Every structure is written in C-alpha cells, then in structure tokens.
Structure 1
Amino acid sequence: MAFIPHPDRRPVLIAGASSGIGAATAEYLADAGYPVALAARRVDKCHEIAEKITANGGEAVAVPLDVTDEQSVVDCVAKAQAALGPIEIAVSGAGDLAIGLSYETSSDEFASQVNIHLVGAHRIYRAVVPDMIERGRGDFVFIGSDVALHPRPWSSAYVAAKSGIDGLVATVQLELEGTGVRASIIRPGQTITGMGMNLDQKSTDAMLNDWIRHGLARHGNFLAPEHLAQGIGAIVAMPRGAHMRVVEIEAEGALTKKGTDA
C-alpha cells in the first residue's frame, strides 16, 4: 500500500515556543512555509514571536499552554486546530530546569520535573496522535536530551524525565508502526537557551565543577537553538516512506589549529 504523501499545508503545534529551541523552531518552520501554532505558558512571548513571523510573511498564531494541566493541553490543541486546521506536526519541547543533588531534592521537586518533561509530553502526544492515526499520517517530535545517554550530576529529576522520554519514544515507535504516523526524538547536547538561566551562581558553579570532574564537559562550546531547529526541520521534511527515528546534535569542539586556507 502506497504512503499518503505529505499535504501541501502541514500545520505545526510547538509546545514550549516562547523561547529557546521552541521559538527558533517556530521561526525556522514558518520560514519554510509551515503554518505554526506557538504554545507556552508565557503566551505574551508567543504573541511577540507570532507577530514577527506574520510580519515576515509567514502564518502563525499564539495559544496558551500549561503541559501540567490536561485541560489546558486539550484546549490548546483545539484552539490551534481552529486557527490553522488539523495538526500535521507536533513538537514537544516545553520544560524548565531545577537542579540540586539527588539526596537534597524533595520528592515534590523531583515529581514536578517529571510531570513537566515526561508526563507533559505524553499529554500532548495523547491529544494529537489519535487524529493523526485516523488520517494515516503525521509527525510527532519529542525533544529529549543527551543526558539520557550521559547523565549529569545535580539534575537527577531532569535526567530521569529525559530518560523516560527515551523509553516512551521507543515504545510508541513500536505501537505506531504501520499507522503512517512517525514519532521521532531529537537529543540536543549543551545548548544556550533560557532554561536554567534563573539558577543561582553558587549551585551552578558546583554543578559545572562536578561535570568537569566526571569528564562530562569536554569543551566550552554550546549549540544555538537554531541548530536544533534545523534538525527538527530535517526530521519533519523527510518524505513519506522514510523515518528519522533518532537524531543527536552536539556542539562541535573548538578548532585546535587553523585551517590551511585561512
């Protein structure tokens, strides 16, 4: 049976679009011709980005979203579809970062991180994928993290949640096989985003020193959100019949010598 080609119009819902990777992805996909719904708790920031996109000739709307609230997720999807049409692509990247040593992190703090990063992603998945299955096509991109492969101290809850995303994606890929819906995970390395910028300096210094001690900070280069946006763009643009299941993007290390044609 032949695969249903991608339609000319592929509306995108981006969770966590108020800054960082989500915002960069919204702008990148809009520039490529995708209608985009920017969703986040900071809907005012989403409105600013949506206005910038429309001013540049793209199509975008902003919708409020709290991934920890199931009704908010349901309402967000309904509003996005009312404005743009059926969601063909969803990108789940909402989250924040709380750090601390595992034995000093309260169970409530731990559960909060898991609720945002893991359960929140499942809420969005559950809200959009059944309709994709009914249509026989669709892309759902989970933003994971390389901490699932290389855990870092001071972020046990975040590591647990992102490791859970890996397990969730591996499972849903099996369940979606033959439905026409593709689930993918993109694992960023260290990236400059707004996430974690509210951390206190003392804890941040202690965390980074522990990363160095365990060999988890090979160099000081960071990815830009735009690098991840390009990766997500490549995933969803893949023609039907092929599936980019896992994409890992890491910052390139600093050059140790000048090129010969400098």
Structure 2
Amino acid sequence: MAFLPHPERRPVLVAGASSGIGAATARWFAEAGYPVALAARRVDVLETLAAELRAGGAEAVAVPLDVTDDESVRTCVALAAEALGDVEIVVAGAGDLAIGLSYETSPEAFSDQVNIHLTGAFRIYRAVIGGMIDRGRGDIVFIGSDVAKRPRPWSSAYVAAKSGIDGLVTTIAMELEGTGVRAGVVRPGQTLTGMGMNLDQADTERMLNDWIKFGLARHGNFLGPEHIAQGIHAMVTMPRGAHLRELEIEAEGAVATKGNI
C-alpha cells in the first residue's frame, strides 16, 4: 500500500522552547515555513521569541507547559491545536540538569530528574498520540542523550532518565508500526546550551575531572543547538514510508592544520 505524502501544512509543537535546543529547533522550523507552537514554563521568554519569529514572517505562538503536570500538558496540546491546527510534529525536549554523586543524591532529587526528562516526555506522547493514530500520520521526536550509550559519573538520574527514553522510543516505535505514526530519538553529544550553566563550579570541576579519568572528555569542542535542530528536521522530513528511528549527533574534534586539511 502506498503511503500518502506529508500534508503541506505540518504544525509543530516544541516542548522546552524557551532556550537551548528547544529554542533553536523552534527557530529552525519556523524559518523553514512550519507553523510552530513554542511551549515551556517561561512564557515571557517564549512570547519574545514567538514575536521575533512572527516579525520575520513565521507563524508562531507561545503556550505554557509544565511537563510534570498532566493537565498542563493536555492544555498545552489543546491550545497549540486551537491556534495552528492539529499538531503533526512534536519535539519532546523539555528538561534541566542536576548533577551529583549517586550516593549523595536524595531519592526526591533522583525522582525529579526522571519525572522531567522521562515521565514528562511520556506525558507529551500520551497527549498527542491518539489524534495522530486517528489521522494515520505524525512524527514524535524525543530528545535523548549520548549518555544513554556512554554513561557519565555525577549524572545517575539524568543517565537513568535518558536511558529510559531510549527504551521508551524502541518500545513505542514497535507498537506504532502500521499506524502511520513515527517515533524517533535524537541523541545530542556535548552541546553548548543554557542547561547546566547554573551548576556549582566546584562540583562541576570534580565532575569533569572524573569524566577525564574515565576517558569521557575527548576534546573541548561543543555542538551548537542549531546542529541538533537540523538533525531533528532531517528526521521528520524523511518521506512517508521511511523511518529514521535513531540519530546521534556528536561534536567533531578539532582538525589538525597541516597540508590542505
């Protein structure tokens, strides 16, 4: 059976759009001509970015979202659909970063990280998937992390949550087979975003030293959030009938300056 092509109009909902990868993704899609709903807790920041995008000719709205609250997630999806039409593409990327040694991390702090990164992403999935299945199409992109493949010390809760994202995406991709809805995970490597910029400096130095000890800090180059946005765009623009389920994006090491390299 032939797959119908993507519709001409594909509204996008970006969770975590107030900064970093989320903001870059919202900007990338808006500039590519997609209607975009920017969602996060910091609505004032979203409104500023949405206004900037609209001034450039894009169709963009800001909607409040707290991924730890079921009702907030459902309301966010409803508001996005009311403003732009049924959501065709969802990017589940809301999150923050807390670090600490596992044996010094409280169960409450551990649960908070899992609730934001993993359960929060699942809440978004549950809020949109019914409509996508009914329409027989849709793309859901989960923002994972390369820590799911290469865990790092000082990040036990974050590693557990992002490993859970990998398992979740693998499971639901199998369950969605034959529905026309695609789910995939994008795993960024080290990316320069606002996440983690408020961490304690002494703890950060200890963490980085442990990463070096285990060979986990190969070089000092970082991706820009726009690199991740480009990867997300590539995933959802695959033609119907093709499914790019996993994409890992890593920062390239510095190129040696010799010859014509």
TM-score per shorter chain, which class?
over 0.9
Aligned counterpart, 1:74: 74
Matches within 5 A, 1:12-161: 12-161=12-161
In 2, Cα distance between equivalents of 1:211 and 1:197: 18
In 1, Cα distance between equivalents of 2:53 and 2:77: 20
Offset of residue 5 of structure 1: 1.3
Aligned counterpart, 1:172: 172
In 2, Cα distance between equivalents of 1:156 and 1:225: 24
In 2, Cα distance between equivalents of 1:4 and 1:210: 51
Contact kept? 1:4, 1:137, Cα under 8 Å: no
In 1, Cα distance between equivalents of 2:31 and 2:238: 17
**What do the CA deviations read for 1:96-117 (whole angstroms, capped 9, x no partner)?**
0000000000000000000000
Offset of residue 259 of structure 1: 4.7
In 1, Cα distance between equivalents of 2:247 and 2:238: 13
The code of the aligned residue for 1:8 comes to: E
In 1, Cα distance between equivalents of 2:150 and 2:79: 38
In 2, Cα distance between equivalents of 1:44 and 1:232: 25
Offset of residue 71 of structure 1: 0.2
Matches within 5 A, 1:176-187: 176-187=176-187
The code of the aligned residue for 1:250 comes to: E
The code of the aligned residue for 1:164 comes to: G
TM-score, length basis structure 1: 0.98
Aligned counterpart, 1:214: 214
Contact kept? 1:26, 1:38, Cα under 8 Å: yes
Contact kept? 1:93, 1:143, Cα under 8 Å: yes
**What do the CA deviations read for 1:23-73 (whole angstroms, capped 9, x no partner)?**
000000011110000000011111111111111111100000000000000
Contact kept? 1:4, 1:136, Cα under 8 Å: no
Offset of residue 148 of structure 1: 0.2
**What do the CA deviations read for 1:75-132 (whole angstroms, capped 9, x no partner)?**
0000000000000000000000000000000000000000000000000000001100
1:237 equivalent to 2:253? Answer no
* Partner secondary structure for residue 34 of structure 1: coil
* Partner secondary structure for residue 247 of structure 1: strand
TM-score, length basis structure 2: 0.99
* Partner secondary structure for residue 66 of structure 1: coil
**What do the CA deviations read for 1:220-255 (whole angstroms, capped 9, x no partner)?**
000000000000010111111111110010000011
In 1, Cα distance between equivalents of 2:118 and 2:62: 23
> Unmatched 5+ residue regions in structure 1?
none
* Identity, % of aligned positions: 73
* Partner secondary structure for residue 108 of structure 1: helix
Offset of residue 3 of structure 1: 1.1
The code of the aligned residue for 1:69 comes to: D
In 1, Cα distance between equivalents of 2:199 and 2:188: 20
Q: Give the total of aligned pairs.
A: 261
> Unmatched 5+ residue regions in structure 2?
none
In 1, Cα distance between equivalents of 2:244 and 2:187: 12
RMSD: 0.8
In 2, Cα distance between equivalents of 1:95 and 1:163: 14
